Structure 1
Amino acid sequence: MAGPARYEELARQLSAFGAVKRELGRILPADCPSGSAAVLTLLDRHGDMRMSKLAELLAVDVSVTSRHVAHLAEQTLIERSPDPADKRSRILRLTPAGRARLDELSERTTQLLAHRLGDWTDDELGQLTRLMARLRASFDDCRAEQSTRTPAITT
């Protein structure tokens, strides 16, 4: 197991990673902020779903998710249809325009990454991708543990 100094350095690097996220956010169109882009990406990756599932995947409150969904529905990038199993709920799905917007976002991101990381080798990019996926999975595991824990009983 790594020592505390390694984790402290990792914490500093993760904190500095905000600059990368901000630059990625700046390439998004004005009418598609990062939260909206995340909704489109998740619908593409996981398929049609209820708002509650989307909020869970985004790890935000349903009210925040609802605002993103309303914004995207106004732009006809997603559609909301009644859930056949529960008419009070809605199923969210990408529209063809939503898929086209997602393709545009992907192209912008790919171009920026190619520009910024053009001097990296394929092996370095592969290693970064694997390590980031592993890091994300480690935190997904923690989130699953937290949601299955029973609350402590206090007296």
Structure 2
Amino acid sequence: MAAKSQYEELARQLSAIGAVKRGLARILPVECPPGSAAVLTLLERHGNMRLSRLAELMAIDISVTSRHVAHVAERGWIGRSPDPGDKRSRILHLTDAGSAVLHELSLRTTDVLAHTLGDWSDDEVGQLNTMLARLRDSFGDCRSWTSAPHDCGALAPSGGPLTTSAIPATPA
């Protein structure tokens, strides 16, 4: 097990990741803020779903999720179809236009990362990817925050779990 000072430094470094995320958010087009990018990314990654499931994945209130959904639906990036199991509910799905926007966002993100990390070796980028994936996996599903440290509650950031990002990533 690492020394306490190493965990303290890790906490400082993870706080600094907010600056990286804000920098990546600045490359998003005005018409596609981070919340909209997150909606598109999650629909691509997880497929069609109800609004309640999307809110759960985003780890934000359903009313906030609904505003993000309305924004992307107005632009034709997602569609809303009646849920065959409950006609009062809607199933959200990514449209071709939404896929195209998501592809463009992914290209922008990839280009910025390639430029910014241009002096990193392939091995270093691979190590970072591996370690970040391992960190995310170690936290598990932290969407149901409680006060017990082993299930992430003691570390709950105001913006949601470490597993949710508003910045689209190249699909795995």
Q: With the length of structure 1 as denominator, give the TM-score of the two structures.
A: 0.90
Equivalent residues in 2 for 1:56-75, closer than 5 Å: 56-75=56-75
Quickly say closer, same or farther: Cα 1:145–1:73, change in 2 above 3 A: closer
Equivalent position of 1:29 in the other structure: 29
Secondary structure of 1:124's partner?
helix
Which residue of the partner structure matches residue 88 of structure 1?
88
Provide the C-alpha distance between the structure 2 equivalents of 1:96 and 1:141, rounded to a whole number of angstroms.
30
Distance in 1, Cα, partners of 2:66 & 2:144: 23
Structure with the higher helix share, 1 or 2: 1
Change (3 A) 1:24 1:145: closer
Q: CA deviation at 1:88?
A: 1.0
1:141 CA drift (Å): 3.9
Matches within 5 A, 1:97-112: 97-112=97-112
**What is the alpha-carbon distance in structure 2 between the residues aligned to residue 144 and residue 130 of structure 1?**
25
Question: What are the within-5 Å matches in structure 2 for residues 5-154 of structure 1?
Answer: 5-143=5-143, 146=146
Give secondary structure in 1 for the equivalent of 2:68: helix
Report the Cα offset of residue 22 of structure 1.
Answer: 0.9
Tell me the C-alpha RMSD between the 2 structures: 1.5
Instruction: Kindly indicate whether structure 1 or structure 2 has the higher relative contact order, using CA contacts under 8 Å at least 6 residues apart.
Output: 2
Extract unaligned runs of 5+ from structure 2: 152-172
The residue identity in structure 2 corresponding to 1:77 is W
Mark the structure with the bigger radius of gyration. Answer: 1
Specify the code of the residue in structure 2 equivalent to 1:60.
Answer: I
Q: Are the aligned partners of 2:36 and 2:72 in contact in 1 as well (CA < 8 Å)?
A: yes
What is the CA-CA distance between 1:127 and the residue it aligns to?
A: 0.7
Percent identical among aligned pairs is 70
Give 5+ residue unaligned stretches, structure 1.
Answer: 150-155
Question: Which amino acid letter does the alignment assign opposite residue 16 of structure 1?
Answer: A
Cα 1:136–1:74 shift into 2, 3 Å:
same
Instruction: Name the CA distance, whole Å, in 1 between partners of 2:99 and 2:24.
Output: 19
Matches of 1:54 and 1:142, distance apart in 2: 15
Secondary structure of the corresponding residue to residue 110 of structure 2: helix
Task: Give deviations 1:36-57, integer Å, cap 9, x for gaps.
Answer: 1011000001100011111111
Distance 1:80 1:52 in 2: 13
